[in-house]
Amino acid sequence: MTDPRLRHGRASLAFCFLSQGVAFALLVTRIPAIQELYGISDALLPLFLAAVPVLAGAGSVLTERVVRRVPASTLLRWTQPVVLLSLLGVAAGDELWQAAVALGVFGLSVGALDASMNMLGVSLQRAYGRSIMLGFHAAYSLGGIVGASLAWAGAHWDLALVVSYMPVAVVLVPAALAGSRWYVDEDRAVQEGNVDSGGDTVAFRLLLPLCLVMTFAYIGDSTVSNWSAKYLQDVLGGSEELATVPYNAYMVTTLVGRAVGDLGVRRFGAVAVVRCGAVLAAAGFAVVAVAPGAWVGMLGFTLLGLGLCVIVPQTFAAAGRLFPGGGRSDAAVARLNVFNYVGFLIGSPLVGALGDAWSYRGAMLVPMVLILVTLVYARSFGDGSARYGGGYERPRVVDVGRGGNEV
């Protein structure tokens, strides 16, 4: 059996991931409505969109500094309501400067939230002694599906943005604050020796392979989110209605893959799962690139979801394995999280530029090759016996008060 504190901490953190998925999906799927609300020109829109991941990267860097003095759970407890309220702020304004301020706050707080919730996930997984990280990201995928569905309903019924976003904030803000009571940090006494200097002892050369893998994974993810509909309609000749299906299929298979992925890590090890994911994702891009029609293209995007979904959670887990201990682990996760946004910023413009200069079929081969590079760095995810990237597994009861030692 597992300590009840760990079970409660796991459930509350999973709800945090789900809430973040809802919030992010509500923002990105209603970009046209936000543009119309504030009268943002097509020329200015890319600057607003790029500012969010840039500020999120800055928020992740700041988080590394903050968690040397403040527990990650405390930071997470207060940044999640800020994310949700800033989302509401985006919908509530009518002046361009108000949009800039709300999106700026959203970006900074999202960076802090992404970093701190993955810090807690890595820490909790270490205490559990088995793979649970994919389950947290499955909750995020589920939240994304819920958020996208709510966004569709708002657009379908022609609801004002503030009307669409208000119920979400009203429900999730108090629920997130209530759930934060059960967040579990590693024992601060165990971290004491690393809190002040942990970040300085994280060797970037050791972290670099994981940073590259994270970047390549998000280049692949942003390619699907930004180009799947256009590709299916313009290149593969699908209808406008059919063009909305690939991203939904991608999200559903991402959820399914993450829901069962922890079992795969426990059975076959992190290295094998990451390799399998990279091969599946590359195969998905290959199918998309050579697809003769829309239905085969959708099969490719489905394979992409099953493959890419395991890479990011296991990359965070591997960072925790490389730099064990509270302070060093948190610093590694915060630095690695920055490359989430680097990949997001690079992916869409890269595919667009290659598509215009060459062909969109050819452009799909570039993220395919980048994902295959993950195979070169697969050993960074643990040795063959690693069942969650930490190189050891403890099936018995763990004591949180002792920092995850056996009792």
Q: Please report, for the chain, the start and end positions of each structural domain, with discontinuous segments joined by +.
A: 1-185, 203-381
Question: What pLDDT was estimated at residue 383?
Answer: 59
pLDDT at 43: 87
Q: Cα 141 to chain center, whole Å?
A: 9
Annotation: CATH topology of 1-185: Growth Hormone; Chain: A; (1.20.1250)
Pick from 373, 380, 272, 270: which is nearest to 322 by CA? Answer: 380
Question: What's residue 387's pLDDT?
Answer: 55
**Cα gap 115→221, rounded to integer Å:** 19
Alpha-carbon distance of 97 to 85, in angstroms, equals 17
Nearest to 337 by CA among 7, 28, 126, 67: 67
CA count, 13 A, side-chain hemisphere, 341: 24
CATH architecture of 203-381: Up-down Bundle (1.20)
What single-letter amino acid sits at 190?
V
CB-based contact 99:38 (threshold 8 Å): yes
Quote the CA–CA distance of 209 and 378 in Å, as a whole number: 9
DSSP, residue by residue, 184-209: -PPPHHHHHHHHTTGGGG--HHHHHH
- 137: number of CA atoms within 13 Å, CB side? 29
Cβ atoms of 326 and 186 closer than 8 Å:
yes
Task: At 359, list the tokens.
Answer: 């062909």
Q: Please give the span between the terminal C-alpha atoms of the chain, in angstroms, as a whole number.
A: 11
Dihedral Cα 35, 36, 37, 41, nearest 10 deg: 50
208's tokens: 């670099």
Q: What is the pLDDT along the chain (407 residues), one digit of tens a residue?
A: 568 899 999 999 999 999 999 999 999 888 889 999 999 998 898 899 899 999 999 999 999 999 999 999 999 999 999 999 999 999 999 999 999 999 999 999 999 999 999 999 999 999 998 999 999 999 999 999 999 889 889 988 999 999 999 999 999 999 999 999 999 986 543 344 444 445 456 778 889 999 999 999 999 999 998 899 889 999 999 887 788 788 888 999 999 999 999 999 999 999 999 999 999 999 999 999 999 999 999 999 999 999 999 999 999 999 988 888 768 899 999 999 999 999 999 998 999 999 999 999 999 999 999 999 999 999 899 755 555 434 434 433 333 333 333 32
* 8 Å CB contact between 217 and 343: yes
CB 220 within 8 A of CB 371: yes
Neighbours of 95 (CB within 10 A): 10
Strands 398-399 and 405-406: antiparallel
Alpha helices (H) in 269-325, listed in sequence order: 270-290, 294-308, 311-322
250 burial level (CB within 10 Å; 0-12, 13-18, 19+): buried
